[in-house]
């Protein structure tokens, strides 16, 4: 790995407008002091709030039906039980608290599925900070319950009408807001993407997932798992679930990307009908970092697609790109249809309605051929927010395991 | 490499920005000629990128029109090579397009840009921290690499940026993104004050749209003004574009010249 703390091998860096660089220098300094060195007891404060406000630790649950079905011991890391219904609070709470320690008055955030937006809105309300969330117009219509939750927590939600109105455009617009209000505002990036120190800092806040899971599985089984499976969009739950297992070389790490409707690319239309930047992308620079991207040969960023808005992004965290290049993490893909089937199967067999993002990780169990004797699947979030999309998408398909919806007719 | 610094020799420089290919390549050629007639000393020609995070809505829309009409880096360089104006051209684009061009990241683009007749580059998402490769390629092919100094760029950081600048320094007049504004921000005066002792031409942009803005900015000590959104708006209106561009350029150039006569002389630098 390169000596620079801003890089993972050749990935990462700080590709942002000059107007933001002083704020990024200030943030890097605050990250090093408060997060890495626990100055003023920041990390103690953070851990206490994660416990009392966030509901940590989350359980590691043995999944009996899945274990039988796949003939391997399946353990579920229940991040869906974190306050708000997803792992996103781990990072949002950390960053909003850090902004408060830094003396910032205002928070801005982007959101795709709305999980990061709701987590940030909750954390901002909890810590008494003003908060504005940018969300693509298309995502607003796909994730209405989350939009209401943000509003109810007192945050402003700003629709983004540019482009296709998804996560990529929301990030662009939040960066523009940050560039305008940089002196009193902190940008709470929702994933392990963006310029240094965000990829490292978000990973550190999320690494509580694998810290707990590693101790929990040792307690339950006396050893480590053979594999860990997590879905990957930007990669925050992925890096959180992997981080403490990275040095355990016998533990296989699978990053499950959204295969969408196809892994092909339509350069003419500038569309990739998937979000598989680790599996199919090429190296480029987007949103502050050198990483793997879905892009045209010229370097224009393609419109991505996934049935799940939280995975619908043309980039991925630079550290994940690095870990894939070094062979430590294996990227795999699951298409829309299989994710939807897994959503229904998991809901029926285990009594847990997963987020559509998470359903990709669960679906991978169906096609994986060598997960070993025990596997941890990160249940990154619950699916309540997705019910409208699931009803709509299920109606379009002939799924073997979808419930009969006739009760509404 | 001297075309750009030469443009500041004969009084204050007017530097209009337009997005190449908005609404098509042929129109861009006419627009460039009109701006030159109106007194442009340098022209910034935007190469459109799909994620223009440093640009406000006006230029975002221009970029979208250009991309929709099929503009690509190769077509852009063909267009530049076809231009027959006697004004140095600066390419403004985002780093990923420079990185992806050709077989050799960064160097291939800079070589092709130099061949096409580009005199300098402005890359708004490339801070000095990440600019070593581009700096080396620009030095090799004789292009100026112009950096932006923001209202937040101060102290030791300002020194680091100014060490890397060549051609001119682009003084960002206000926080935020590009876009026409009603007034000249007080941040402009503060920034020019911080830059007074650096011996590089200073051109102020972000929000400049009227002759009196240009006058005030040059009177405050700037060596040039950059104006983009105001020209892009004229192009977007679609009516009498060439004569409107020429007239607006003339208004800004005159404002800048008037401002130059109103300058409070600075003590001689030692």
Chain B residues lying within 8 Å of A289, measured CB to CB? none
Size of the A and B interface in Cβ pairs below 8 Å: 115
Tokens of A291: 């990483």
Residue A2 reports pLDDT greater than 60: no
List pLDDT tens digits, range B103-124. Answer: 999 999 999 999 999 999 999 9
Under DSSP, the state recorded for A226 is S
Q: Is there a contact between A13 and B130 if contact means CB atoms under 8 Å apart?
A: yes
Closest chain B residue by Cα to residue A300 = B50
What's the distance, Cα to Cα, between the start and end of chain A in Å? 59
Under DSSP, the state recorded for A317 is -
Say what the pTM is: 0.96
Q: Known catalytic residue: A262?
A: no
Long-range contacts of A9-12 (CB under 8 A, 24+ apart): A9/A322, A9/A325, A9/A326, A10/A290, A11/A289, A11/A290, A11/A291, A11/A318, A11/A319, A11/A321, A11/A322, A12/A196, A12/A199, A12/A289, A12/A290, A12/A291, A12/A318, A12/A319, A12/A322
Closest chain A residue by Cα to residue B131 = A15
The verdict on ipTM greater than 0.90 is yes
Q: Is there a contact between A298 and B175 if contact means CB atoms under 8 Å apart?
A: no
Mean pLDDT of A232-250: 98
Strands A7-8 and A11-15: what pairing? antiparallel
Tell me: cis bond preceding A57? Omega within 30 of 0 counts: yes
Residue B1 reports pLDDT greater than 70: no
Closest chain A residue by Cα to residue B126 = A15
Q: Which of A42, A124, A64, A61 has the alpha carbon at shortest distance from A89?
A: A124
Bridge partners, residue A288, by sequence: A15
Tell me the percentage of chain A whose pLDDT exceeds 70.
98
Tell me the percentage of chain B whose pLDDT exceeds 70.
97
List pLDDT tens digits, range A98-129. Answer: 999 999 999 999 998 899 999 999 999 999 99
Measure CB to CB from residue A298 to each of B72, B124, B177 and give the nearest one. B72
Residue A408 reports pLDDT greater than 60: no
Q: How confident is the model at residue B267, as a pLDDT?
A: 59
Q: How confident is the model at residue A1, as a pLDDT?
A: 45
- Catalytic residue among A279, A380, A385, A389, which? A380
Q: How confident is the model at residue A294, as a pLDDT?
A: 97
Q: Is there a contact between B172 and A297 if contact means CB atoms under 8 Å apart?
A: no
Measure CB to CB from residue A180 to each of B51, B147, B175 and give the nearest one. B175
Provide the pLDDT confidence category of residue B89 given band limits of 50, 70 and 90. very high
E strands within chain B?
Answer: 13-19, 43-46, 89-92, 118-122, 144-146, 148-149, 169-172, 202-205, 224-227
- Catalytic residue among B55, B144, B233, B251, which? B55
Q: Known catalytic residue: A380?
A: yes
Q: Is there a contact between A172 and B53 if contact means CB atoms under 8 Å apart?
A: yes
Question: Locate tokens 């709509």: which residue?
Answer: A392
Residue B265 reports pLDDT greater than 90: no
Task: Give every CB contact of residue B173 below 8 A, 6+ residues apart in sequence.
Answer: B151, B184, B185, B187, B188, B191, B204, B205, B206, B207, B208, B217
Q: Is there a contact between B130 and A14 if contact means CB atoms under 8 Å apart?
A: yes
- Of A76-90, A132-146, B85-99, B243-257, the range with the lowest mean pLDDT is A132-146
CA distances from A85 to A54, A140, A347 (A): 10, 18, 15
């Amino acid at each position: 790995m390169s000596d620079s703390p801003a890089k993972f091998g050749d990935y990462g860096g700080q590709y942002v407008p000059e107007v933001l660089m002083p704020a990024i220098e200030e943030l890097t300094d605050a990250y090093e002091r408060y997060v890495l060195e626990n100055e003023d007891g920041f990390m103690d404060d953070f851990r206490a709030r994660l416990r009392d406000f966030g509901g940590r630790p989350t359980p590691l649950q043995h999944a009996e039906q899945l274990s039988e079905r796949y003939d391997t011991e399946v353990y579920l890391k229940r991040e869906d039980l974190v306050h708000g219904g997803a792992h996103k609070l781990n990072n949002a709470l950390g960053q909003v608290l850090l902004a408060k320690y830094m003396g910032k008055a205002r928070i801005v955030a982007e959101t795709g599925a709305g999980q990061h937006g709701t987590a940030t809105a909750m954390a901002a309300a909890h810590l008494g900070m003003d908060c504005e969330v940018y969300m693509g117009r298309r995502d607003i219509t796909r994730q209405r319950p989350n939009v209401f939750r943000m509003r109810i927590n007192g945050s402003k939600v700003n629709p983004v009408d540019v482009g296709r109105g998804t996560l990529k455009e929301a990030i662009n617009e939040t960066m523009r807001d940050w560039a305008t209000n940089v002196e009193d505002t902190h940008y709470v990036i929702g994933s392990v993407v963006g310029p240094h120190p965000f990829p490292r800092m978000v990973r550190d806040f999320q690494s509580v997932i694998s810290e707990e899971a590693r101790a929990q599985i040792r307690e339950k089984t006396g050893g480590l798992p053979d594999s860990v499976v997590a879905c990957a969009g930007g990669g925050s739950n992925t890096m959180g679930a992997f981080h403490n297992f990275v040095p355990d070389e016998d533990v296989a790490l699978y990053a499950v990307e959204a295969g969408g409707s196809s892994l092909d690319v339509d350069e003419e239309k500038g569309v990739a009908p998937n979000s598989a930047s680790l599996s199919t992308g090429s190296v480029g620079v987007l949103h502050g970092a050198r990483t793997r991207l879905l892009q045209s040969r010229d370097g224009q960023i393609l419109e991505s697609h996934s049935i799940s808005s939280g995975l619908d992004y043309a980039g991925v965290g630079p550290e994940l790109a690095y870990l894939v290049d070094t062979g430590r993490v294996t990227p795999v893909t699951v298409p829309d249809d299989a994710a939807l089937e897994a959503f229904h199967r998991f809901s029926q067999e285990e009594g847990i309605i997963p987020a559509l993002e998470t359903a990709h990780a669960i679906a991978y169990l169906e096609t994986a051929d060598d997960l070993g004797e025990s596997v941890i699947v990160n249940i990154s979030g619950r699916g309540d927010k997705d019910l409208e999309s699931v009803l709509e998408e299920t109606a379009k398909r002939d799924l073997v395991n979808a419930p009969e919806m006739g009760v509404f007719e | 490499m001297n075309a750009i610094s030469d443009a500041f020799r004969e009084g204050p420089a007017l530097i209009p920005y337009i997005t190449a290919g908005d609404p098509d390549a042929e129109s861009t050629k006419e627009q460039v000629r009109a701006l030159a007639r109106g007194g442009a000393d340098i022209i910034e020609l935007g190469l459109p990128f799909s994620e223009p995070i440093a640009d406000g809505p006006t230029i975002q829309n221009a970029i979208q029109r250009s991309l929709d009409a099929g503009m690509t880096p190769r077509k852009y360089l063909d267009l530049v090579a076809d231009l027959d104006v006697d004004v140095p051209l600066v390419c403004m684009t985002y780093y990923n397009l420079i990185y992806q061009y050709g077989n050799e990241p960064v160097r291939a683009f800079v070589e092709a840009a130099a061949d096409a007749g580009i005199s300098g580059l402005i890359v708004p998402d490339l801070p000095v921290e990440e600019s070593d490769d581009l700096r080396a390629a620009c030095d090799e092919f004789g292009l100026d690499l112009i950096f932006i100094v923001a209202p937040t760029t101060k102290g030791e950081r300002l020194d680091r940026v100014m060490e890397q600048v060549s051609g001119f320094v682009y003084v960002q007049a206000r926080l935020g993104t590009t876009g026409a504004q009603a007034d000249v921000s007080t941040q402009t005066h503060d920034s020019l004050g911080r830059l007074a002792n650096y011996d590089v031409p200073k051109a102020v942009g972000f929000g400049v749209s009227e002759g009196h803005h240009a006058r005030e900015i040059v009177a405050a000590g700037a060596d040039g003004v950059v104006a983009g959104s105001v020209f892009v708006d004229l192009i977007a209106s679609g009516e009498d574009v060439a004569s409107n561009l020429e007239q607006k350029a003339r208004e800004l150039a005159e404002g800048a010249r008037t401002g130059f006569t109103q300058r409070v002389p600075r003590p001689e630098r030692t």
